[in-house]
Amino acid sequence: MAYENLLFEIRDGVGLITLNRPKALNALNSALLTELGHLLDEIAVNEEIRAVVITGSGDKAFAAGADISEMQPMTAMEGRKFSANGMNAITKLETIPQPTIAAVNGFALGGGCEVVLACDIRVASTKAKFGQPEVNLGVTPGFGATQRLPRLVGAGIAKELLLTGDVINAERAHQIGLANHVVEPEELLNKAFEIANKIASKGQLAVKMTKQGVNEGLNMDVERGLQYETELFALSFSTEDQKEGMAAFLEKRAAAFKGK
């Protein structure tokens, strides 16, 4: 499928998605969100892709939020549809089997920050800015921030960001656990790819099951989550990668994983 609002390429088993509406600071309109959902469906079933990096085009923004010019005239029902479309795409980002890494190159505000929140790992450039400024516009977040932000940084910090609409820099994002790493802008993609390539070199079934274990476990009580982990652990023993990974350790050589 051809995409008008996204760029996509595969580099050595790592998919690179670029949100691509630079004139509107990569604002997330319905067309972009629909395309993102389709692209993630394609990525999810593509075994060549072992990790995904997502960034924004241009040097100013990752994404400055949902598209305000598209939203301004909407009725409540249209707002619901807009939110559902965004939730669908962004939840796919969270749930595709491959690990995802946000490379935050500039403004990640509102819906842009919500895309970042749905990724597994976040790398920020020193120029990145994060915030949930929806209250400035008289709306609530609509792509997941009321749920994902408190789970990531704790309810107290999340509420302050959500209720004040404050925009924070990369250093503060790092302090609160919203950014895993902060690097110079020219190092941003290198750092994101360094992490992605490391993940891509591991046993892929184990990587996917581990992501699933964390995601599913966060929606369970601890007892059930621990039981779920035992089931995933048992399942990993049905893979060739487990035999190979452990044999390689015992034979003091690098493992040759096949993703089987």
Residues in touch with ligand CAA (CB under 6 A): 24-25, 27, 64-69, 86, 107, 109-111, 114, 133-134, 137, 139, 141-143
Cα–Cα distance, 170 to 22 (Å, whole number): 21
Marked catalytic residue, from 114, 184, 187, 229? 114
Residue closer to ligand CAA, measured from CB, 34 or 201: 34
Residue placing its CB nearer to ligand CAA in the complex, 61 or 206: 61
Residue 64 Cβ, how far from ligand CAA at the closest point, in Å?
A: 3
Task: Please check whether residue 5 is in contact with residue 32, taking contact to mean a CB–CB distance below 8 angstroms.
Answer: yes
Active site residue 223: no
- 134 classed as catalytic: yes
Comparison of 56 and 65: residue with beta carbon closer to ligand CAA: 65
The SS3 of residue 239 is coil
**Least distance in Å: CB of 235 to ligand CAA?**
36
Reported residue count of the chain is 260
> Shortest distance, CB of residue 108 to ligand CAA, whole angstroms?
10
DSSP symbols for 184-238: -GGGHHHHHHHHHHHHHTS-HHHHHHHHHHHHHHTTS-HHHHHHHHHHHHHHHTT
Strand bridging mode 14-19 / 129-131: unpaired
CB of 222 vs ligand CAA, minimal distance in Å? 31
| Single-letter residue type at 211 | K
The residues, ordered by sequence, that sit 6+ positions from 210 with a Cβ below 8 Å of its Cβ are: 232
CB nearer to ligand CAA: give 10 or 139: 139
Question: What one-letter code names the amino acid at 100?
Answer: T
**In the complex, least distance from residue 25 CB atom to ligand CAA, rounded to whole angstroms:** 4
Q: Find out whether 101 and 179 touch, Cβ atoms under 8 Å.
A: no
Pick the catalytic residue from 134, 171, 240, 251.
134
Q: How big is the chain by its Cα radius of gyration, in Å? A: 19
Provide the terminal-to-terminal Cα distance of the chain, rounded to the nearest Å.
28
Nearer of residues 127 and 208 to ligand CAA, judged by Cβ: 127
Kindly list the catalytic residues: 114, 134
